[in-house]
Amino acid sequence: MAFNLTRRKFLQTASLAAAAVPLSKVVSADTGVTKAPLDAKGTFGDQTVVGGICEMCFWRCQLVGKVRDGRLMKLEGNPKSIDNGTAICARGNAGVKLLYDPDRLKYPLKNVGKRGAPKWKRVTWQEALDECGNGLNQVTKKYGAKGIAVFPHGASAKYPMHYFERTVGTHNVSEASFFQCRGIRDTAYVATIGKAPGEKVDMANTKVLFFLGTHIGENIHVSHVKQYVQGLQNGAKLVVADPRFSASAAKADIWVQIKPGTDTAYVLAIMNYLVQNNKYDADFVEDHTAGFDEFSEAIKEWTLEKAAATCEIPAAQIKEVAELLAANAPNVAIHPGRHVSWYGNDFQRERALGCLTALLGAFYVKGGWVPPKGPKVSGISWKKHDHGNEHNLNYNHEEDEKRYPFNPPGTPTELIRDCAISGKPYPIKGCVVWGQNPMQTIPGQEKMKKVFQQMDFVMCVDVMPTDVTLWADILLPEASYLERYDYIKTGTQWNLADEHQQFIAPRMPLVAPMFERKDQVYITNELAKRMGHAAEIPVGSLEEMTEKSLASVDLSIAKIKAEDGIHIQPGKDPYGLPEDFEVQLYNEDLADAGFPGAPTYIPVPEVPKGYARLLYGRAPVHTFNRSQNNVWLHNAMPINPIWINDHAAAKMGLMDGDTVSVVNSEGIASGTTTTVKVTPGIRKDCVYMYHGYGSASPFMTVGKNAGVDDQKLISILAIDPETGCSGMRNNFVKLVKNGKVLDIPA
C-alpha cells in the first residue's frame, strides 16, 4: 500500500516493472475462464500477434497478444514500443477478461420493457439498424438535427461523432473527456499560451515536480508513470498539494495538505512572492509575455500570510515551495493536471498554472513544459454537409456561446441537459450514447434520468451492459479494442531527452470478433444509409480507414506488420522556444468578456456543519466504471473504502473496516455500502473514495452494487463560468452506520 511504502522501496519496485502487475498474481486472482497452467511452455500462445493498442484506459499503450487457436491468452507490452515498452498496467493486463467477459454484449438488443428497467429482446442487425435509422429520422424531421444529442467517448466514438456533427449537423455533442475532465485545462491554457497543454511536462528530466491534486501512482498512464519515476530516480524534488495523502503525496519532499478548493490562492501567493522578490525570469517575461503590469498588480494582495490563512497551510511552506521553484528554474515541471473539473473555479486555477510556468521561464526547456514533436497522420472523416438553414447548423446556441465563451469543442453538458428537459430554446428528443456512461460520468444522476425519460428515441453502442445501457431503446454490441482496427497512436520516446524518435502504431485486431459484434464504421455507415447520407460515406471499413490514413505517411498495414506493429522514425529535438511564443499573463479577451483578466481566486462554498466534503479520484486498478465487471480487477479491489480522518472517526465511534453507507446534504443516499478506511492521511473536512464503483446495472454480475457510486452522491453542480464544465467537488456527505446517520465533527 502506498501509505506504508518508503520512497526508496517504491523506486526499487517501480524500476523493476514500472506499472506492470506480475502475471502470477493476475492469474491466481482469476475466477474466470482462462485455465492454462502457468509453467507449461508455449501456454501463452503459439503465436505472437502484433498491433494491439490498449484501451482499458485512454493512454493507448502498445501491445502484443499471445494467441493460441485464435484465442487471446495474454497481453504484453510491445517490446518495440518506445512509449510504454514492455510495461503495461494491471488494467492493460486484464483486457483479456474484458474480451471474454460472459456479461459482454453479444447481440443487438431491443428494449421491450421500460427505459431504466429494460426487458431485452434479441433482434437482428437489420431490425436494430432500421429502428435506429427510423427513430433518428423522426427526430430530425420534427426538430431538426439539433434535436439529437450525442454523448461519445473513446477511439470508437470518433467516426460516429463526426458523422453526427458534420454530416447530420447537430452541435449538441458532449464528450465526458472534456466537460467532466480536461476541457477547462485546455481552454484555460489556450487563453494563456495559445494551445492545449496535454500532460506534456518533461518529468524524466526535471529538477522539481509540482502537482496540484495530480495523483500519479493511482492515476496510472504507463509512460507518464515511467517519466515520473525517472524524474524521482534522478533526484527531482516533488511538491504535491493534496488534502489527502495520495500515492504522490506519499513520495513527496513537500506535501502541502491544502484546504479543498483553494489551490488558486496557493499558486497566486507563490507567483506574488516570485514577483515581489525579483525571483522570476525577467528575460522570459520581457520577451514572451503580455500584461505583466496588470497581472502583478492584480495578484499583489496575495501575501504568503493571506494564502496561508485561505488554504490552511503554513506561510513558511508556501515560501519554501516558491524558493525551491525559483532556485531550480527553468528546469521545473508545473503539471497542468488532467481531471480538472473540480469546484467551478477551475479555469482560474489552470490559468494560474500557465502563468506560474511563465514566471519560471519553464516553457520548451529541459524538465519544463515541452510539447514533443510527434508525427502527423491524416485521419479520414465525414465531410461537412451544407444544410443551408434546414438545421440551423451554425450554431443555434449563439446565446449559449455567449454564456460560456471559452467552452471546449462541443456543447457544455448542462446546456444540452437543460435544453432537453425544458424544451427551451428547442426540444432535444433523440439521443446517441457511444462509449460514454453518462449515468456515472455526469453529475446529477436524477437529472440525467429525466433527460433520457423525455427522449423519443435513445440508442446506445457499448461493449458492456453498464448503467447507461439500461436507458437505451436499442442497444448495439461493439467489437472491443482487441478485435478491431482503428485508432492510430502516434508519439515520441517516453523520456524525450535521450534520443529523438517518433512512432506510428495503428490499432490492429489481435483476434476476430465473436458473436454478432460489429465496429463503428459498419454501424455508422449503416445508419448513414438509413438517414439519407449514403453518398457521403467516406470509407467502407475500418481496415480501409486505417490503410488510407497510413498511406498519408507512406505506410501500409502490411509494412507496419512487417515492422512488428510499430513504425519508428527519427524525431525532432523537442526543446527550444518558438520565437513568437507568448503568454497572456493578463488576457484582454477574458477581461472584455467580463471575466478576470489575471488569474483570480474565487472561493467555494464552505462545508456545512456536521458534513464533510466528498472528494474522489482514481483507483489504480480500475478505469472509472468501465472495468468494474472485470473479474481480475474486481478481485484486486472489490470495493472503494471511504477515507476518513482518524480524529474525526474516533469522535464518531467509527473503526477501520466498519461498514457504512453515505448520504449527501440533499438527502440522496448511496443505496449501497462500503467500509471505512480510518487514516491520518486526510483532512478532517473531507472524505475520499475511488470513483466508478457501485454499478446499478443488474446485468453487470461482478460489478453490481460493489462499493459506493460517488456520482450518485454528486448532485450539486458547480458550473465553471468561463467554460460551462461541471465542477463536482462541492458536495457534502455524512456517513450512516447501522441505520444511524453520523455527524462528521469539525
Ligand X SMILES: Nc1nc2c(c(=O)[nH]1)N[C@H]1C(S)=C(S)[C@@H](COP(=O)(O)OP(=O)(O)OC[C@H]3O[C@@H](n4cnc5c(=O)[nH]c(N)nc54)[C@H](O)[C@@H]3O)O[C@H]1N2
Stretch that binds ligand SF4, among 54-62, 162-170, 411-419, 689-697 (CB under 6 A): 54-62
Q: What is the DSSP string of 294-335?
A: HHHHHHTT--HHHHHHHHTS-HHHHHHHHHHHHHHTTSEEE-
Q: Binding partner of residue 567 among Mo ion, ligand SF4, ligand X, none, CB under 5 to 8 Å per kind?
A: none
- Judged on CB neighbours under 10 Å (0-12, 13-18, 19+), 126 is exposed
Query: Residue-wise over 594-628: b if at least 16 C-beta within 10 A, else e?
Result: ebbbbbbbbebeebeeebbbbbbbbbbbbbbbbbb
The binding track of 73-112 with respect to ligand X, each residue x by CB under 6 A or -, is ----------------------------------------
Cell 480522518 found at: 645
Nearest residue relative to ligand SF4 (C-beta): 92
The residue from 464, 504, 631, 660 that contacts ligand X (CB under 6 A) is: 464
Does position 448 interact with ligand X (CB under 6 A)? The reply is no
Nearest one of 624, 723, 600, 599 to 183, comparing CA atoms: 723
The residue from 197, 243, 361, 491 that contacts ligand X (CB under 6 A) is: 243
Separation CA 458–CA 120 (nearest Å): 14
The residue from 171, 251, 626, 734 that contacts ligand X (CB under 6 A) is: 626
Which residue's CB is nearer to ligand SF4, number 216 or number 239?
Answer: 216
The residue from 94, 98, 150, 181 that contacts Mo ion (CB under 5 A) is: 181
Which residue's CB is nearer to ligand SF4, number 224 or number 429?
Answer: 224
Does position 338 interact with ligand X (CB under 6 A)? The reply is yes
Q: Binding partner of residue 219 among ligand SF4, Mo ion, ligand X, none, CB under 5 to 8 Å per kind?
A: ligand X
Separation CA 682–CA 686 (nearest Å): 7
The residue from 95, 336, 337, 427 that contacts ligand X (CB under 6 A) is: 337
The residue from 50, 72, 73, 88 that contacts ligand SF4 (CB under 6 A) is: 88
Beta strands 686-690 and 612-617, pairing class: parallel
Q: Which residues from 497-516 bind ligand SF4, rule CB under 6 A? A: none
Which residue's CB is nearer to ligand X, number 57 or number 545?
Answer: 57
Separation CA 46–CA 152 (nearest Å): 37
Which residue's CB is nearer to ligand SF4, number 215 or number 288?
Answer: 215
Which residue's CB is nearer to Mo ion, number 181 or number 742?
Answer: 181
Contact criterion met (CB below 8 Å) for 346 and 337: no
Does position 91 interact with ligand SF4 (CB under 6 A)? The reply is yes
C-alpha cell at 602: 474565487
Does position 56 interact with ligand SF4 (CB under 6 A)? The reply is yes
Contact criterion met (CB below 8 Å) for 724 and 407: yes
Q: Binding partner of residue 92 among ligand X, ligand SF4, Mo ion, none, CB under 5 to 8 Å per kind?
A: ligand SF4
Does position 222 interact with ligand SF4 (CB under 6 A)? The reply is yes
Quick one: three-class SS letters along 241-272? ECCECCCCHHHCCEEECCCCCCHHHHHHHHHH
The residue from 18, 57, 82, 298 that contacts ligand SF4 (CB under 6 A) is: 57
Does position 156 interact with ligand X (CB under 6 A)? The reply is yes
Q: Terminus-to-terminus CA distance in the chain, angstroms? A: 28
- Judged on CB neighbours under 10 Å (0-12, 13-18, 19+), 31 is exposed
Q: Binding partner of residue 255 among Mo ion, ligand X, ligand SF4, none, CB under 5 to 8 Å per kind?
A: none
Contact criterion met (CB below 8 Å) for 113 and 119: yes
Separation CA 190–CA 351 (nearest Å): 9
Separation CA 72–CA 56 (nearest Å): 16
Which residue's CB is nearer to Mo ion, number 185 or number 484?
Answer: 185
Separation CA 408–CA 341 (nearest Å): 13
Stretch that binds ligand SF4, among 53-61, 472-480, 553-561, 644-652 (CB under 6 A): 53-61
Separation CA 25–CA 515 (nearest Å): 30
The residue from 78, 437, 492, 546 that contacts ligand X (CB under 6 A) is: 437
Does position 220 interact with ligand SF4 (CB under 6 A)? The reply is yes
C-alpha cell at 20: 506492470
Q: Can you say whether the dihedral through the CA atoms of 178, 173, 473, 419 is positive or negative?
A: positive
- How many residues are present in the chain? 746
Q: Binding partner of residue 88 among Mo ion, ligand SF4, ligand X, none, CB under 5 to 8 Å per kind?
A: ligand SF4
Stretch that binds ligand X, among 37-45, 257-265, 270-278, 646-654 (CB under 6 A): 257-265
Q: Can you say whether the dihedral through the CA atoms of 358, 359, 363, 369 is positive or negative?
A: negative
Stretch that binds ligand X, among 122-130, 243-251, 355-363, 367-375 (CB under 6 A): 243-251
Which residue's CB is nearer to Mo ion, number 26 or number 176?
Answer: 176
Which residue's CB is nearer to Mo ion, number 691 or number 712?
Answer: 691
Does position 54 interact with ligand SF4 (CB under 6 A)? The reply is yes
Q: Binding partner of residue 60 among ligand SF4, ligand X, Mo ion, none, CB under 5 to 8 Å per kind?
A: ligand SF4
- Judged on CB neighbours under 10 Å (0-12, 13-18, 19+), 714 is buried
Does position 468 interact with ligand SF4 (CB under 6 A)? The reply is no
The residue from 65, 565, 599, 620 that contacts ligand X (CB under 6 A) is: 620
Rounded least distance, CB 624 to Mo ion, Å = 8
Stretch that binds ligand SF4, among 207-215, 220-228, 235-243, 398-406 (CB under 6 A): 220-228
Does position 725 interact with Mo ion (CB under 5 A)? The reply is no
- H or E element: which one contains 448? helix 445-453
The residue from 419, 463, 607, 708 that contacts ligand X (CB under 6 A) is: 463
Amino acid 77 reads G
Separation CA 537–CA 519 (nearest Å): 15
Q: What is the dihedral of CA 205, 208, 210, 214, to 10 degrees?
A: 50
Contact criterion met (CB below 8 Å) for 482 and 95: yes
Contacts to Mo ion by CB under 5 A: 181, 339
Contacts to ligand X by CB under 6 A: 57-58, 153-154, 156, 176-177, 180-182, 212-215, 219-221, 241-244, 246, 258, 260-261, 263, 337-339, 342, 434-437, 440-441, 461-464, 466, 468, 478, 480-481, 615-618, 620, 622-626, 688, 691, 710-711, 714, 728-729
Contacts to ligand SF4 by CB under 6 A: 54, 56-57, 59-61, 84, 88-89, 91-92, 220-222
